[in-house]
Amino acid sequence: MLDVMISSQIERQLYTADQVRALDARAINQADVPGSVLMERAGAAAFRHLGDEWPNARVIHVICGTGNNGGDGWVIARLAADSGLQVSLTLIGDEGRIGGDAKTAYLRFIEAYPQIAIRTELRLPPDPEAGPAAAPTSDQVVVDALLGTGYRGALREAHRSVIARINDAGLPVLAIDCPSGLDASTGSIPEVAVKACLTVTFIGAKFGLYTGDGVDVVGEIREESLQVPAWVFDDPSPVAALMSLEHQRASLPKLPRSAHKGRRGHVLVVGGDYGFGGAAIMAAEAALRSGAGLVSLATRTEHLSAMMARQPEVMVTGVGGAADLRPLLARASVVAIGPGLGQSEWGQSLLGAVLDARCPLVVDADGLNLLANSGSELPAGSVMTPHPGEAARLLGVGNARIAEDRLATTRALQTQYQATIVLKGAGSIVIDQDERFAPGVCPYGNPGMGSGGMGDVLTGVIAALMARGLSAGNAARLGVCAHARAADWIAREVAHVGYVATDLMAPIQRLLAGRLD
């Protein structure tokens, strides 16, 4: 779970690094806020958060680059010295390359504190040459003002070495705007990145802090608008929105007291080949627990007794192929296909029948793998829920390409398959077919979700929400948020690891009803 507060009413807007630079320029050129003033505000805000997070800090190691991120660092160093803290300063790069507002902040620091040495080679505890603070202690904090959002592409060797030393020092780290080495626009880490405990980011929230590799290095995120006028954010449009469960839950239709099971739709789950019956059973139970009026399961005959014993409310039918499945398809509002489907002739036959029925689908797991090989079109209003490996197969690219730019991957899938896409993983991304909705990023979830069956449960949840009347996009967004938030509740209240997919069903049920925080 990302440690960042999410408003229950307004979803936070996310931007690329280039977009935030455009916002910064707009504030300077149109709102008449000098860049030097923004830099002072940024440094002051970061220093305030440093004091709030580490009130016992006495030694501040500030590592500055030559750009504006380094400029924020010079402000922090000056404020730390003003407060009587011991400041250790390192400049990585040629002093002559410092320019603009960063140069102003640099000159202001050396004028105020000419006695404080500025190293050009990083020395951090336990390095014996680190000076008075040669051993790591609880009163020391590192400030990463090396690269920030200015990083893109290959790291210079000097930067790579400094990042490694910061990570090896074992000291708490405050990252300024973005941990150095993280691509703030994509969430990828091509080489190595600073592992921060706290990231203070400015003006606009950066997309890459909330998804992919970014979530492993940002620590807690705190955002500061630097008093930029609200109208500055009118342009450019954000690249995505950070979803909130409370906001998404508002899309659920209210049921009249006279509502019957037919009002909440009929989900048909198709899957469960030999050895994989549990996947389909979990998807069916999740659909029922998420409010579908009726749930049917089409699976191997051998799995009938297991489903009936586990959840007798699910109508389960053994199917040997497409002919057995067609009568069930005629009664379904939504079909969830893929959990435990396998890639044998049986699974291929069932997928063909499902595609022919032109019913809205939720496609996961082997349904996606078979789809990648078939090139078939999906019915309108369908959802695909690939993890990165499945996304790579669907697009015919290597796994590394997916990690490089998760948002671009999700957009490519949406364009190619004309469906709502859920790209699973840390900071799951949802892209709706309806272009009025910005892509959504899920801020919930934790490492304990890395176990078998989690995707099967999500498939059932999304299918149930579609059956209840939500659009594919709304169902995907709400389903992803409720699923991950349920896992966070379990991690907080029960255990960080060792919980299983079926444990999510009860908290999902309560979260969808608004009866669990």
pLDDT (0 to 100) of residue 129? 55
| Burial (CB count within 10 angstroms: exposed 0-12, middle 13-18, buried 19+), residue 366 | buried
Whole-model pTM: value is: 0.93
How does residue 435 score in pLDDT terms, banded at 50, 70 and 90?
Answer: confident
Strands (E), 16-109: 59-64, 86-91
Residue 486 is predicted with a pLDDT of 98
Please tell me the predicted confidence (pLDDT) of residue 152.
80
Average pLDDT over residues 233-250: 95
- φ, ψ at 136 (rounded to 5°): -65, 130
Q: How far apart are CA 334 and CA 347, in angstroms?
A: 18
Binding residues for AMP: 424-428, 455
For 398-417, what is each residue's pLDDT tens digit?
Answer: 999 999 999 999 999 999 99
Return d(Cα 420, Cα 414) in angstroms, integer: 6
- 11 band by pLDDT with thresholds 50, 70 and 90: confident
pLDDT of residue 6: 37
Binding residues for (6S)-NADPHX: 68-72, 148-154, 177, 279, 340, 387, 456
Q: Which of the pair, 373 or 345, is modelled with greater confidence?
A: 345
Q: Residue 493 carries which DSSP code?
A: H
Binding residues for K(+): 69, 144, 180
* DSSP state at residue 209: G
Q: Which domains does the chain have, with CATH numbers?
A: 12-242 (3.40.50.10260), 261-512 (3.40.1190.20)
- Dihedral sign from CA coordinates of 196, 202, 206, 211: positive
Q: Model confidence over 37-85: pLDDT tens digits?
A: 999 999 999 999 999 999 999 999 999 999 999 999 999 999 999 999 9
* Cis upstream peptide for 55 (omega within 30°): no
> Which conformational region is residue 267 in: left (phi greater than 0), alpha (psi within -120 to 50 degrees), or beta?
beta
Neighbours of 372 (CB within 10 A): 17
pLDDT for residue 354:
98
Q: What is the pLDDT of residue 255?
A: 75
Assign 3-state DSSP to the chain and report helix, strand, coil percentages, each to 5: 45, 15, 40
- Annotated binding site: which residue ranges? 68-72, 144, 148-154, 177, 180, 279, 340, 387, 424-428, 455-456
* 271 vs 254, more confident: 271
Q: Give the residue from 250, 353, 246 showing the smallest Cα distance to 298.
A: 353
pLDDT at 473 over 70: yes
Average pLDDT for 171-182: 98
